[in-house]
Chains A and B, each alone.
Chain A
Amino acid sequence: MPKTETTASAEQADQKTETRINFAREMDFLQKKFLKGVEILTSPMDTATAVSPSELVYQEDRMKLFHYTPVKQKLHTPPVLMVYALVNRQYMLDLQPGRSVIQYLLSQGIDVYLIDWGYPSQMDKFITLEDYIDGYLNNAVDKVLELSGESKLTIAGICQGGTFSAIYSSLHPDKIKNLITIVAPIDFDTDTGLLNIWAKGLDVDKMAKSFGNIPGDFMNIGFLLMNPFRLVMDKYIGFMINIDDKDFVNNFIRMEKWIFDSPDQAGAAWKQFIRDCYQKNLLIKGELKIGAKTVNLKNITMPVLNIFAEYDHLVPPACSREFTKHVGSKDTEIASFPTGHIGIFVSSKSQKEICPRMSEWIIKRSSE
């Protein structure tokens, strides 16, 4: 055999051996990582949510109103009532120490109340938007005013809760000192969001007839379908890669718990929200009816802070950005952040930029 051929085959053999060794090392590494992950997942985990102390101050049917225990002696007035969406749960705002919007506001001397809409059962399928906004929300506002001794309060609505807050502020401007909308859809007529596109074709009557209440799982399938490769595959690959990191695993499981903690949607209210808002875009047109009342956004004359996320795929910026142009208030402010729908509350930006911006705005319009 010529010398050159001998050298080449020896090199090939060396390369094969090296590949095998690398492969064995990789397997060893993965095995150790996996075993560590199993150890973390089978040991007690820190995945508690809604950790800030609070007191139940009012309850009506499924709706509960919580008052958070202030951490400062002197409080800014008026109090802030936070209104979450009917979709998913309100404890996103108080996910964990260090990642809590509520905790941050409390630390700034802001008096915080929060509505928990509860889990509707089939018995609640006839509850309408009027019941939610002019009933439960209105009664919660009255309760906060009664407990605080104030004549007006600051209302801060998140996502669909922001839409509710805007509607409420328009119907009862006499009770609202300031309005904050956070990633709230107001103008639904956009083709930049998949939910906006898909919702247009839904036969809401048929769905409500079939399901009664719209199942939370159905809503989740819709959300996952919006980005299946990231949300169904990539996310869990990321989890496997970091499975040996205890903090990562705790945060991941906590988040997973929140994401799939999805109450069913009361049939009648859901039907009206999809039809009147997503399909007919009546709110921005000034034609939305809540019971016998027509919602006119021009009635919103109190100061407005409108916060939206630039990479929001659930409520695209186009749904929120123009809101302040439609209100009657002269004191309006828009704040956008380069994050996603959930990132507004739980990203590192949330505590460093978003919460400070919000609390500054509130304090500026409050008195001690």
Chain B
Amino acid sequence: MPKKSKSQKTETPTNPFFDMWNKFAESYTKTNPFSNPFTAGQNTGGLPPDWLKGYDDMMKQFCNMPMSGTAGNIYPKFVEAADVYMKLFKAWTDNAGNLSSSPDAMKNLLNLWMNSQKEVFSKMFGLPIPSVDNMGDFNESIKKSLENFTQFYDQNYKPFVENWTKLSGQMQDAFNGKQDPAKFKELYNSWMQGYESAFGKFLKMPMVGPSRQVLEKIHKNIDSFMKYCGATVDFSMVLYSPSKETIEELVQKAQTILKGEVTQEKYKQFYELLVKTFEDRFYQLFKTPAFSESIKTTLDSYLDFRNSNFEVVEEMLKSTPVITRTEIDDVYQELYNLKKRIKELEKLLNKKRKD
């Protein structure tokens, strides 16, 4: 490899990327009103000196304009940050030539760049950007942040995503030619579990802002509808298995009756058997705690949905000239109290009259 000449060392790097930025930074510095105000007669980069002076004066006046309010706070920061931003490129241009010289140079360049970066963004946005010195903390922060995200994902989305994987298999079972309701229930339960552990939680999240109450009511309504659907599926399933078993039992019993020629009398026997078999089996089912629990859950979830639906409807009716049930209930309550009071007073009066 030929030795590098002394003159070669001071030359700007030949890398086209750095060349481009170097030229850009150079020309920008020349026209930059913040860090290097030009004076007439200096290198004007080919621009007319009078124009530059005028421009420079204008910018100075602009920069010195008294600012107030939010703009007054932001503008100086913006000016300052723009200044630092330029330094960032200056750092590159000053040091890019040493890039290939040594690892230390590389480290210094990176350090310089990072500090410039930090300065820029801290000033612009007030963000605590780590420097190379505290990169360990930065890494730790990133690690923590990633851990938090993972935890958030695990808690909220993962169950739903995992469920979908599971569901895809279950869907095939549920919707294949047999259309097994038990499989469908399994599928629905999985879906509900996934929903509960993911989106269901978000629907219960407190809302903020002026529409907070309305949003919360709408979310509650969606959530209660999902639960009501789940409960009806469960309820159907509670009825399904006994129905299936009863039909099987009926078929077994009916075989004896329906042997040979089918007469009216035999059909009547079969019908009596059908009603009795179903009646007995379902009476036993209706007495079970499982059925009571299911009917309670279904009814409760229906009422929750119904009540939350009314809340949303009443919310929407507030802006219309339509009276709501809650409002008319207040009137009814007042009427009830007044009627009761009048009856009491009438009784007292009648008693007094008799006395």
Binding site for B on A (CB under 8 A): 26, 61, 122-127, 131, 135, 191, 194, 197-198, 200-203, 206-207, 209-210, 212, 225-230, 233-234, 237
The residue that A228 contacts in the complex, of B282, B306, B329, with Cβ under 8 A, is B282
Supposing A194-B287, A197-B292 touch, asked if A207 and B282 sit within 8 A by C-beta, the answer is: no
Binding site for A on B (CB under 8 A): 264, 271, 275, 278-279, 282-283, 286-287, 292-293, 295-296, 299-300, 303-304, 306-307, 310, 325, 328-329, 332-333, 335-336, 339-340, 343
| Complex alpha-carbon distance, A165 and B186, angstroms | 51
The residue that A194 contacts in the complex, of B275, B286, B300, B304, with Cβ under 8 A, is B286
| Complex alpha-carbon distance, A201 and B300, angstroms | 10
Chain A residues within 8 Å of B296, by CB: 201-203
Cβ B306 vs Cβ A135 within 8 A = no
Cβ B307 vs Cβ A229 within 8 A = no
Cβ A226 vs Cβ B286 within 8 A = yes
Chain A residues within 8 Å of B343, by CB: 135
A-B contact pairs, 9 of them (CB 8 A): A124-B336, A126-B333, A198-B295, A203-B303, A206-B307, A207-B303, A209-B303, A210-B310, A227-B283
Cβ A229 vs Cβ B282 within 8 A = yes
Cβ A126 vs Cβ B275 within 8 A = no
A126 — nearest CB in chain B belongs to which residue?
A: B336
Cβ B275 vs Cβ A210 within 8 A = no
The residue that B307 contacts in the complex, of A131, A194, A200, A210, with Cβ under 8 A, is A210
Interface of A is mostly: helix
Supposing A122-B332, A126-B332, A198-B295 touch, asked if A206 and B279 sit within 8 A by C-beta, the answer is: no
B186 to chain A, nearest CB (A): 25
Cβ A206 vs Cβ B275 within 8 A = no
B313 to chain A, nearest CB (A): 13
B305 — nearest CB in chain A belongs to which residue?
A: A210
Chain A residues within 8 Å of B329, by CB: 122, 125, 212
A-B contact count (CB 8 A): 65
Chain B residues within 8 Å of A125, by CB: 329, 332
Chain A residues within 8 Å of B303, by CB: 203, 206-207, 209-210
A352 to chain B, nearest CB (A): 28
Chain A residues within 8 Å of B328, by CB: 122
Supposing A203-B303, A210-B303, A226-B286 touch, asked if A198 and B279 sit within 8 A by C-beta, the answer is: no
| Complex alpha-carbon distance, A207 and B307, angstroms | 9
Chain B residues within 8 Å of A226, by CB: 286
Chain B residues within 8 Å of A198, by CB: 292, 295
The residue that A229 contacts in the complex, of B278, B335, B339, with Cβ under 8 A, is B278
Cβ B279 vs Cβ A201 within 8 A = no
| Complex alpha-carbon distance, A158 and B303, angstroms | 31
Supposing A123-B335, A125-B332, A201-B293 touch, asked if A227 and B279 sit within 8 A by C-beta, the answer is: yes
A207 to chain B, nearest CB (A): 6
Chain B residues within 8 Å of A127, by CB: 336
Chain B residues within 8 Å of A212, by CB: 325, 329
Chain A residues within 8 Å of B307, by CB: 206, 209-210
Chain B residues within 8 Å of A210, by CB: 303, 306-307, 310
The residue that B300 contacts in the complex, of A124, A191, A203, A225, with Cβ under 8 A, is A203
| Complex alpha-carbon distance, A209 and B329, angstroms | 11
Cβ A61 vs Cβ B287 within 8 A = no
A69 to chain B, nearest CB (A): 29
The residue that B287 contacts in the complex, of A26, A191, A200, A201, with Cβ under 8 A, is A191
Chain A residues within 8 Å of B271, by CB: 237
Chain B residues within 8 Å of A200, by CB: 292
